[in-house]
Amino acid sequence: MGALGMLRRLLGQWRNGRVVAASEPSLQSLEHYVAAARNLGLDRPYLFLSFDCDTDLDAAAAGEVHAFLESLGIKATYAVPGAQLLRSPEPYRRLAERGAEFMNHGGLPHAEWNGDQWVGITFYDSMSPKEAEADIRRGHEIVTEVIGRAPIGFRAPHFGCYQKPEQVDLLHRTAASLGYRYCSTTIPSFGLKYGPAYETHGLLEIPCFGSIRNPETILDSWTYLTDRKNYALGDEYFDLMVETVDAFVSRELPVVFTWYADPCHVLNQPAFMRAMEHLAKAGVVSVAGAELTGLLLSSADCSGQPRNCVSGME
């Protein structure tokens, strides 16, 4: 039986044969995703966890969050705007010394303090393509200079606002020209359409992931904060994550949980800590960006491309 047939059978059983809670969401919208994951050679759940470090609070929180994750065997990849790396180089250098991977997240700052809270700034959709490209190249220089290693992955600032085909194409094209191996700069709907990763411009795009209940909504910390000034993460974050993890783990379905958070949103937050403990206990394999890319490319066929590479997907 092919992967798709197997999945249909599993989904069918799930809907018809098993006693399921009436409120349990269907995996139907993820049917194509799972088939694409199998085509990539994946046979189990993976976690690709990254952190968006847009404010000074994140520079202070990242070390503690990292230590907590390390104690669980969970790897973290960091996306820090160049401006923040220049402002607080030491905490990030220490993380790099502990083996953390840093993506290029552009050069300009992504947030500013407006008197009572941090607000987002630097949106590529209000910049010219030339300015966006220059910011990506500046981000590359700063990561290389501060961290001491050239990044091989990229995520755009506030990437949810930069998803039009020509915009995503500009990001991928520029990252490819810098020799990158991956980007993770698209919203979950890309994953539903193309799977956990797809090849474009000679690199892999690894779309962010949602939850089985809200497959199109990024399961990030910002979306599920219940207090955006003092930062309190709602229980919904935990509930959605655990329900999603369990749905895949119990059925041994392949998936890449490409999730990210902001360190200051999750530091000492029970919803986050319990969710991470659950992921570790469930045996989900945690990978950093380079490792995930290596894994996906090593399962590629003899053409050197992942088996489900979507040609012309630009």
- Positions touching Zn ion (CB under 5 A) are 52, 54, 110, 157
Least distance (Å) between residue 150 CB and Zn ion: 20
* Strand 118-120 relative to strand 111-113, pairing: antiparallel
Dihedral pair phi/psi, residue 165, rounded to 5°:
-50, -45
Distance between CA 139 and CA 82 in Å, rounded? 5
Question: To the nearest whole angstrom, how small is the minimum distance from the Cβ of residue 151 to Zn ion?
Answer: 14
Which residue from 296, 78, 79 is spatially nearest to 199, judged by alpha carbons?
Answer: 296
Q: How far is the CB of 103 from Zn ion (least distance, A)?
A: 10
Sign of CA dihedral 243, 248, 249, 251: positive
CA 199 from centroid of its chain's CA atoms = 16
Q: Which is nearer to Zn ion, 84 or 269 (CB)?
A: 84
**Shortest CB 84 distance to Zn ion, Å:** 9
Nearer Cβ to Zn ion (135/205): 135
Shortest distance (Å) from residue 78 CB to Zn ion? 11
Q: For Zn ion, which residue has the nearest CB?
A: 110
Length of the chain counted residue by residue:
314
Q: Cβ contacts of residue 80 below 8 Å, gap of 6+?
A: 53, 58, 92, 102, 105, 143
**Smaller CB separation from Zn ion, 52 or 135:** 52
**C-beta of 101 vs 199, nearer to Zn ion:** 101
C-alpha 68/C-alpha 42 separation (Å) is 27
Instruction: Indicate the SS3 state at residue 143.
Output: helix
* CB of 105 vs Zn ion, minimal distance in Å: 5
Query: Closest CB to Zn ion among 33 and 159?
Result: 159
For the four alpha carbons of 22, 23, 24 and 26, in that order, the dihedral sign comes to positive
3-state secondary structure of 77: strand
Q: Smaller CB distance to Zn ion: residue 55 or 293? A: 55
